[in-house]
Amino acid sequence: MTTHFFGDTAILLGRSLRHITRSMDTIITTAVMPIAFMLLFVYVFGGAINTGSESYVNYLLPGILLITIASGIAYTAFRLFQDMQGGIFERFQSMPIARSSVLWAHVLTSLVANLVSIVVVVLVALIMGFRSSAGIGAWLAVAGILILVTLALTWIAVIPGLTAKSVDGASAFSYPLIFLPFISSAFVPTGSMPGPVRAFAENQPATSIVNALRALLTEAPVGNDVWIGLAWCIGILVVAYFFAMNTYRRKIT
């Protein structure tokens, strides 16, 4: 049964990836907005923002990577919505395939596409002056956190992809996720924010994740941020997976 699931997922993943390669504009579009934000904040606002760090692009990049992921998962919801409307799910139900492999193929496609977008954003950051003294272990930890964030947010995207009534409805959920890093430590230290805003910023998942990524990239002590960030990611992933699978079962029965 396990082999059956992995084989079916691999075949459906290949199908989804072929769709991506035929429309590379989705990956390019995903990376354009975060790059635009990075250019705007570094070259327009960066001189007026005091972060206590030598390079503002170094401070900014972790938050930009979260925005990149939040932008990319909207396409997962869009592709799921198209499959639902096109009758592909009904066709799959008549075939001897593992039911959950359909969703996992979309989720893994999102992971691959977002990793490509992240690489593009990091390359642009390097051109803009980003530098890191982090070792291989720290970079692997950064990659692991970003993968976990992508999986957690993608499973959230599955829910509107299955339930939306329109294309706009399928992707609109991503807007709050895109702007969540703006009310965090991604662009400015939370200490400079007014009381209520600061309280929210310091106790929402983006801040802990951004702080952990920034510490890893600068070889600074990660403290509790990495564990709090991981707890947020795992918690969101488990809850989103549970609701997504329940929604999927209701749709196919």
**pLDDT tens, position by position, 200-240:** 999 999 999 999 999 999 888 888 899 999 999 999 999 99
Q: DSSP alpha helices (H): ranges in the chain?
A: 2-22, 25-40, 56-86, 88-93, 100-127, 136-163, 167-172, 174-179, 195-202, 205-218, 225-252
How does the average pLDDT of the chain come out, rounded? 84
CA dist 87 and 79 (Å) reads 12
CA dist 75 and 5 (Å) reads 24
Q: Would the pLDDT of 2 be above 60? A: no
C-alpha pair distances (Å), 33 with each of 65, 137, 239: 11, 29, 28
196: tokens are 């209520």
Q: Would the pLDDT of 243 be above 90? A: yes
pTM: 0.88
CA 5 to chain centre: 25
Q: What is the pLDDT of residue 237?
A: 95
Lowest mean pLDDT among 6-20, 69-83, 160-174: 6-20
Confidence category of residue 1, pLDDT binned at 50, 70, 90: very low
Percentage of the chain modeled with pLDDT above 90 = 36
Contact status, residue 147 vs residue 111, Cβ threshold 8 Å: yes
108: tokens are 């893994």
Lowest mean pLDDT among 101-105, 139-143, 144-148: 101-105
Domain ranges, ordered by start, for the chain: 2-252
Q: Would the pLDDT of 129 be above 80? A: yes
